[in-house]
Amino acid sequence: MVKNERSYRYAFLGLIAWVSICLLIAGWAELESGQVRMLSFAGLFGLIAAVGLSESLESQSRIRFTNLMASSTTDPLTGIRNRRFLDDEIERQLAQFRRQGTTVSLLMIDVDHFKLLNDNHGHLAGDKTLRNLAKLLDSTLRDMDLITRYGGEEFVAVLPCTDLHHAQLAGERIRSAIEQSRVHFENKEIKVTISVGITEATLVDTPNSFLDRADRALYVAKKSGRNRCCILRAEDTVSQISEIHQENEPVLANFS
């Protein structure tokens, strides 16, 4: 429907331009009639108006397209980027890593016991918790980092130019900030914690393998008791990550 409407508009503009040119040519002819001269001025004015209207329509189309793209890559509940935007960004960051060697890390974040929160306080409380969490994540991370809603109560943060050690620091920083925060809903104070899976990209990673490794790290974090960060390197197995977590737990707990 929009495409047909645009076609009709451009056809109308083309007709105006054609008539205007004809009138302009007629006005330039060697005729003494003042009416013909008036036609030439009308033709010139019509041609200018057609060009201006065409540029205005193009500008409106660009604005509509930009708004449409923004809405299609934005999560309506939290206002942050969604899974579709995340997939494109990971692809872009991995390509840049392969070209320039600028590493990138992922944080896979899940709200602990979110179903229980919904059951006890209702879905409106759950929605407010997710909105507050998104704001807190966004304010805790750097401007260059990207926080997205992966789905449900899961979020993914993309950390450009960040190795595994600094990704651990970032993960623990946001885990601690959320643990200390509170959500106020209907005279109630709701406390939530998160589990975080952390991994760093390799040169052979695809977006799927990169996300899958972060997801497996998150799985271990939740199985190990929740409210903690776990890392998974490309060479580690899931059984090894548990040992890594146990070895690093005292250090992770003291990150600031």
Known catalytic residues are: 153
Are the CB atoms for 114 and 153 separated by under 8 Å? Answer: yes
Structure tokens at 4: 């047909």
CA pair distance 254, 256, nearest whole angstrom:
6
The torsion defined by the Cα of 127, 132, 137 and 142, in degrees rounded to 10, comes to 130
Return the beta strands (E) in 52-193 as ranges.
104-111, 146-151, 154-160, 183-185, 188-190
**Tokens representing 115?**
């179903």
At residue 232, what are phi and psi to the nearest 5 degrees? Answer: -140, 120
Q: Is-contact 93 104, C-beta < 8 A?
A: yes
Q: How far apart are CA 59 and CA 194, in angstroms?
A: 44
